[in-house]
Amino acid sequence: MHRFSDLDINPDDVHQDQGSAYLVGGDNVDAVTKCGNETFVRYHGPTQVSVGWVDSNHLKEAGTPHVPLPSNADAVCGAVQSALNAGRFSEAMPSISLTPLDPRATGQLQLDSNYYASGGSRVVVQGVVLNLVSITSVGTDHSNEILVWSKDFKKKLSPSDRDARDALNNGADDWGFGISESLVKVLGQPMVLGRNAHEENFSLSSIDRSGDIVPVCDAKLVVAPRAIVMKATDRGVCDAVAKGAAANVEMDAPGPDDRLAISNPWISAKRMDVPDAYVPSIDDYPRGGNYPRMDFMADFGSVTLALLQSGVVDLDNSGKKHHVGVISYEYASGAGAGSGGYSETPVLFDDKSVADPTKGKNALWFKQLGRGVDNKPSERFHARLVTYGGVTYVEYLMKGAKLPSQLWKVNSSGAQEVCNFKTSQFEVHLVTDRQ
């Protein structure tokens, strides 16, 4: 028998000797890592997991090294991957609703002043009632994690190594902004879904009867081998475009006489679903880099219009080729933690080689095709003009992608989405497969 004075053991879960906690010869522990002459271990007691550092001389290796996983881990990861890639998102991981905690329960959590309980859910795991609580940080950018308490909230069951074992932990002392965990159900069992804000990759962890949260699956979004048609108004066209049958329209850098103009600044703000723009001045800047651009201020922040490309094609499928271009619209707001948006839209030039995205047909297309996304560069859509079967279309691709995400057709009455493609798929692996 050996006492481990620095082992964070719950007295209810280990042998007792006049009120002190200890382990005895034959007790099984998980050896997690070693530092010098000490080993960090996890002891799975009857009702809770206890963790801490122990003298390595008092440990004897038994069995082969492995990562403890639930018996149905393969089935969980496989079911999630199949459902997600089939487009059945709600079926893959239905959410478990959180409800406000009773004030008396909240008081028993004894949280640091930098955190608060944003809600909880009572679940039954292998016959044991557990309270799963979402703990959220204060401030503009929130992060939250799921912790586990006993049925009566008198005992916190999550071990002290909860953060260190979390799949989202990058080794920093504190969690980064935007890290989010929520509760979902997979194959009928509650699980913790964890992801970083603005990222599609996620992790899944199971919850055992002792309240231990065990990492099970890692999910990564990867490029699909080919575009998959998810929605189509013309299936023949969409199937052909998915196979790469569309031809790119040859576009060049803007010519020396190509210019931008705005006749109605309010429309450019309205397009982003923001308040009416206040425009104290609009300057037609000399070329910024290699293209004409315009900068102005609106109620919601700064806006930049830029002319990216120029060419000649029957853009509106009227039977006549026109001088056309592709413009970008970008806004940035410094409110709170900051936000932004970006879109690219085709435009027609007038007979003076001026492109005004807020006038005539251009205004229709600008409002319908303009898409504001968070200002993470990797999530931007880029426009490309293509033709197929004698018809001109607008393809939208994610930055750096080779496969189209959307296909649109424009005419005098506006823009119509013809195809929506799935260009990525999830690979869901066991955590033991991490590189």
Does position 277 have pLDDT exceeding 90, yes or no? Answer: no
- How many angstroms separate the CA atoms of 364 and 400, rounded? 27
Which has the higher per-residue pLDDT, 129 or 329?
129
Closest listed residue to residue 54, CA positions, set 4, 96, 17: 4
Q: What is the pLDDT of residue 321?
A: 96
Task: Residue 391: count other Cβ atoms within 10 Å of its Cβ.
Answer: 14
246-259: burial string, b at 16+ Cβ within 10 Å, e else: beebebeebeeebb
Per residue in 191-217, pLDDT tens?
A: 999 987 667 889 999 999 999 999 999
Give the chain's count of helices (H) and strands (E). Answer: 7, 25
- pLDDT classification of 3: cutoffs 50, 70, 90: very low
Does position 83 have pLDDT exceeding 70, yes or no? Answer: yes
Query: What share of the chain has pLDDT > 70, as a percent?
Result: 78
- How many angstroms separate the CA atoms of 298 and 279, rounded? 6
Q: What is the pLDDT of residue 163?
A: 77
Q: Summarize the confidence of residues 297-305 as an average pLDDT.
A: 69
Does position 45 have pLDDT exceeding 70, yes or no? Answer: yes
Does position 5 have pLDDT exceeding 80, yes or no? Answer: no
- How many angstroms separate the CA atoms of 119 and 183, rounded? 11
Which has the higher per-residue pLDDT, 381 or 211?
211
Does position 16 have pLDDT exceeding 60, yes or no? Answer: no
Q: What is the pLDDT of residue 164?
A: 77
The kind and range of the H/E element at 367 are helix 360-369
Q: Hey, is 223 helix, strand or coil?
A: strand
Q: Hey, is 43 helix, strand or coil?
A: strand
What radius of gyration do the chain's Cα atoms show?
29
Instruction: Name the average pLDDT for the chain.
Output: 81
Q: Summarize the confidence of residues 364-372 as an average pLDDT.
A: 76
- How many angstroms separate the CA atoms of 131 and 106, rounded? 12
Order the strands of the 202-207 sheet from edge to edge. Answer: 179-186, 189-196, 202-207, 213-232, 414-430, 406-411, 391-398, 381-388, 247-248
Which has the higher per-residue pLDDT, 277 or 86?
86
Q: Summarize the confidence of residues 64-72 as an average pLDDT.
A: 84
Closest listed residue to residue 123, CA positions, set 105, 143, 97: 97
Does position 318 have pLDDT exceeding 90, yes or no? Answer: yes
- pLDDT classification of 142: cutoffs 50, 70, 90: low
Q: Hey, is 290 helix, strand or coil?
A: coil
Does position 233 have pLDDT exceeding 80, yes or no? Answer: yes
Per residue in 395-431, pLDDT tens?
A: 999 878 889 999 999 999 999 999 999 999 999 999 9
Closest listed residue to residue 82, CA positions, set 232, 210, 186: 186
Which has the higher per-residue pLDDT, 180 or 140?
180
What one-character DSSP code corresponds to residue 74? H
Does position 384 have pLDDT exceeding 70, yes or no? Answer: yes
Does position 315 have pLDDT exceeding 90, yes or no? Answer: yes
Q: Hey, is 116 helix, strand or coil?
A: strand
Strand duo 283-284 + 293-298: pairing:
antiparallel
Task: Residue 389: count other Cβ atoms within 10 Å of its Cβ.
Answer: 11
Q: Summarize the confidence of residues 146-164 as an average pLDDT.
A: 90
